[in-house]
Structure 1
């Protein structure tokens, strides 16, 4: 009896699910969580420069404004996403966040994805004329910026190189990498230590010189006095007479 009721109940549930497949699909779609690419693409529809708010210490308050001013010089539509990245770039084309953003936005232009620290990331151009040496400029900018340069600095250098007309040369023969902020701070501390050491030695030497002047004066005076005494003629000793001898005996 109980087994018969179980079979009947299972049949009814199956019939309901099979009879309403169109309603079940939207429910699954609504339950699907929004991906990171979807969230960033939605932000780029409102503003072509997206800057993450998860790393405020790594980015200055005016990061978005500085990036907009830099990419505006390219003269083409540019979409920038400053967000933590992992495994991006030419080595992992299947994991390209720039390609995912292009698929969501459906807009042609230059897409730049870069982490807040500025290192790594990727740049891609979809549609339109491809006259800018983006890949060479991006590689050269990575070589020519300090290790701790942020995203605004890297993007500004990238735009400078892309518009310089020598992106390929600067990629193959990059300029010396500037010192990082940490390196500059360490060099400044070393220079301050050297200056302090020179001042200490100067004070020590001056004090030693001043304290030694009286001693040198005394020694010089005694030497002069001794020399004068040596030059003076010695007087012969007085001869004793009998009279003086008697007085001495008394």
Structure 2
């Protein structure tokens, strides 16, 4: 009986431990996986989180019209503004990941809606990143991403894109976003200082004016000397002396 009990316990132990193991749940797809799947269906992905400033359908059509003449496959991702500064991998780091997921050569552009992005080409000789820098240099600071892609396509489609890039100059009245932000902050600080000086200076000026008025009134109210009356006894003695002298 003891032996049978030991065998039964051993079989039960094998049954519990030797059965098929429960498979671990698969890892959820990463952001790069989701973006790559979307690009495989449509090579131009435009964010719909800024519909007030960017119509996704119109922007997609404009980007395709700007890049189709280049004759190379392209993959474009336009994200909400400044998202790469907060939580996502920067564009220049995100593009190799997308290329690794898609396993397709071509022109890759990842940017936000302000044009702050990066361009890189695989399997072609286009000066993609230099052209994007030239575009950023020529565009005004408030230009939208559609204007950036239009100029970007024009530069790359130029018969001599390198000369076109070298000739790129700052846009008239160009002010970078960082310079614009600094100017706004400096103006606000200057106004705050001016308002503070006015608020402090008015009571001081009023106090000084009151003190000056009091001093002026005090100078005007100086007591005048009281005139002294003549002594009658002295006048009588002088008269008597004169009479005696006339004798």
Q: Identify whether the pair has TM-score above 0.5, normalized to the shorter chain.
A: yes
- The Cα shift of 1:171 comes to 4.2
- The Cα shift of 1:170 comes to 4.8
Matched, 1:125 2:127: no
Point out where structure 1 has 5 or more consecutive residues left out of the alignment: 1-7, 91-95, 184-250
- The Cα shift of 1:176 comes to 3.2
Instruction: Give the aligned partner of residue 51 of structure 1.
Output: 46
Instruction: Give the aligned partner of residue 88 of structure 1.
Output: 90
Instruction: Give the aligned partner of residue 35 of structure 1.
Output: 30
Q: How many residues were matched structurally?
A: 160
Question: Where do residues 87-236 of structure 1 align in structure 2 (5 Å cutoff)?
Answer: 88-89=90-91, 96-119=93-116, 121-127=117-123, 130-178=124-172
- The Cα shift of 1:79 comes to 0.7
Instruction: Give the aligned partner of residue 78 of structure 1.
Output: 74
Question: Where do residues 14-25 of structure 1 align in structure 2 (5 Å cutoff)?
Answer: 16=17, 19-21=19-21, 23-25=22-24
Distance in 1 separating the partners of 2:55 and 2:66 = 15
Distance in 1 separating the partners of 2:132 and 2:139 = 11
Change (3 A) 1:164 1:24: same
Distance in 2 separating the partners of 1:105 and 1:162 = 24
Distance in 1 separating the partners of 2:139 and 2:19 = 62
The CA RMSD measured in Å over matched residues stands at 3.1
Distance in 1 separating the partners of 2:159 and 2:128 = 11
Point out where structure 2 has 5 or more consecutive residues left out of the alignment: 1-8, 175-179, 181-247
- The Cα shift of 1:58 comes to 2.8
Do the aligned partners of 1:140 and 1:167 also contact (CA within 8 Å) in 2?
A: no
Change (3 A) 1:179 1:33: farther
**1:191-232 per-position Cα deviation (integer Å, ceiling 9, x unaligned):** xxxxxxxxxxxxxxxxxxxxxxxxxxxxxxxxxxxxxxxxxx
Instruction: Give the aligned partner of residue 64 of structure 1.
Output: 60
Change (3 A) 1:106 1:155: same
Change (3 A) 1:19 1:141: farther
- The Cα shift of 1:51 comes to 0.6
Partner SS for 1:40 = helix
Change (3 A) 1:136 1:34: same
Distance in 1 separating the partners of 2:31 and 2:45 = 12
Distance in 2 separating the partners of 1:73 and 1:179 = 31
Partner SS for 1:57 = coil
Change (3 A) 1:19 1:177: farther
- The Cα shift of 1:178 comes to 4.7
Query: TM-score, with normalisation over the residues of structure 1?
Result: 0.55
Do the aligned partners of 1:67 and 1:152 also contact (CA within 8 Å) in 2?
A: yes
